[in-house]
Amino acid sequence: MRIALGLAYDGSFDSGWQRQRHCSSIQAHVEHALSCVAASPIEIMCAGRTDKGVHATAQVIHFDTSAIRDSYAWVAGTNHYLPSHIKVQWAKAVSDDFHARFKAKYRRYLYGLQIHAQALAHFPQGITRWPRMLDREAMQQALPSLLGTQDFSAFRDRQCQAKSPIKTIEHCELIQIPQGFLLDIKADAFLHHMVRNIVGALLAIGEHRRPVSWMDTLIASRDREQAWLTAPPHGLYLAEVGYPEIWEIPEGLQVPWFLSQFIGR
């Protein structure tokens, strides 16, 4: 039997999604908890591997098992064995042709940015603080350059293992929140560090270190060395993964609770 699960987690406590021998990971925690419920070893596949410090409100995974459990047991039972910063949101049986990664039509990320000169007292690991003022209008004007099917090598980390740098960004919006912004970006798939590197480029434009037209120049260059910084991880959330309707996987943008009042979706 193949089971799909929805996960939410705070990425501040582990060394990223992927299982590692000498440090904790989201994958290891979830596989251990599922193995306890199934009473047999479980290996999982996710929709998108998140880096250290990156969060998820709508990660999707799947696994195969011979254990017979209902949806409630997979949710409540797994949560019983998980640490408090990782929680299963839903579970459902799917056909064997479902695959959390390869069958996903799109991924959607949110990046929270708060402009404040001093360190934040609340949610310090849930949003990125930027100490200097930013020109929202200039940043917004740069966003259309990102839309469509393009070679995004300029935003690709050197360690990226993707076979092709060509991706399709379907939606990109900068939403005003109190003392900051929320970047909402949706694509068929993303390269390693792609969202964080895009945010870094937007910060350069927002600080007037680069003109709005630089975004087109940067994309055309296909050169990561010409880009600016990689934005910190802790403002980034995997917030939606979409699949063909045949599998009835829950969809809809899942906004972090402390930002949900600022986004009308």
Q: Dihedral (C-alpha) 86, 89, 92, 96: value to the nearest 10 degrees?
A: -40
Which string of b and e fits 218-257 if b means at least 16 CB within 10 Å?
bbeeeebeebbebbbbbbbbbbbbbbeeeeebebebbbbe
Could you say which of 10, 14, 51, 151 is catalytic? 51
Whether residue 51 lies in the annotated active site: yes
Other C-beta atoms closer than 10 Å to the C-beta of 66 total 7
Are the C-beta atoms of 139 and 174 separated by less than 8 Å?
Answer: yes
The candidate with the shortest Cα–Cα distance to 33, out of 87, 76, 78, is 78
**d(Cα 198, Cα 201) in Å, to the nearest integer?**
5
**Any idea what DSSP says for residue 85?**
T
**d(Cα 103, Cα 15) in Å, to the nearest integer?**
26
Phi first, then psi: what are they for 239, rounded to 5°? Answer: -115, -5
The two beta strands, 106-115 and 128-130, are parallel
Are the C-beta atoms of 9 and 15 separated by less than 8 Å?
Answer: no
Are the C-beta atoms of 244 and 103 separated by less than 8 Å?
Answer: yes
Are the C-beta atoms of 44 and 15 separated by less than 8 Å?
Answer: no
Name the residues annotated as catalytic. 51
